[in-house]
Amino acid sequence: KQEVTQIPAALSVPEGENLVLNCSFTDSAIYNLQWFRQDPGKGLTSLLLIQSSQREQTSGRLNASLDKSSGRSTLYIAASQPGDSATYLCAVGFTQAGTALIFGKGTTLSVSS
C-alpha cells in the first residue's frame, strides 16, 4: 500500500532563509504529486501539482521537484517570510482519473522575524 512520509514533522527558521521540505513515497507508480499549504483551522490551498512526466514546477518563491524512481519530492521555499508559516502537505495521486490522493502528515513550518 502506498505510504507518504514527510520529514521533518516541524521546522523553525529565521526570516530570509532558503529551506527544503521533503516528501517520500513507497510506490513509484504515481500519476502526479501535489503540494498543499494549510493554515491553522483552515482548509488546504493547492500550491503546486507536478505531473508524473515532469521533473519540477515553479510558482513564485516555490519550486517543487519530483524524482519518481527514488520516490522523492522536495518543496524549496526561497527567502522565507513569516507569512510562510503554515503546515505543508504533500499528496500522491495514483489514479489516472485523479480521484485518489494519499497524503503525508505534513511539515509544520514556523518562520520567525
Partner 1 sequence: DVKVTQSSRYLVKRTGEKVFLECVQDMDHENMFWYRQDPGLGLRLIYFSYDVKMKEKGDIPEGYSVSREKKERFSLILESASTNQTSMYLCASSFLSFNRGNNQPQHFGDGTRLSIL
Burial of 52 (C-beta count, 10 Å sphere; 0-12/13-18/19+): middle
The nearest distance, CB 74 to partner 1, in angstroms, is 19
Using the contact rule CB under 8 A, the part of the chain among 19-27, 46-54, 65-73, 78-86 near partner 1 is: 46-54
The nearest distance, CB 111 to partner 1, in angstroms, is 22
User: Which one, of 111, 87, 88, lies nearest residue 33 by Cα?
Assistant: 88
The nearest distance, CB 38 to partner 1, in angstroms, is 9
Task: Return the C-alpha cell found at 113.
Answer: 522575524
Cβ pair 48, 90 in contact under 8 A: no
Nearer to partner 1 by Cβ, of 24 and 80: the residue is 24
Residue listed under C-alpha cell 519530492: 73
| Residue 49 binds partner 1 (CB under 8 A) | yes
The nearest distance, CB 21 to partner 1, in angstroms, is 15
The phi, psi pair for 84, rounded to 5°, reads: -80, -10
From the list 92, 104, 107, 109, which residue makes contact with partner 1 (rule: CB under 8 A)?
104
| Residue 60 binds partner 1 (CB under 8 A) | no
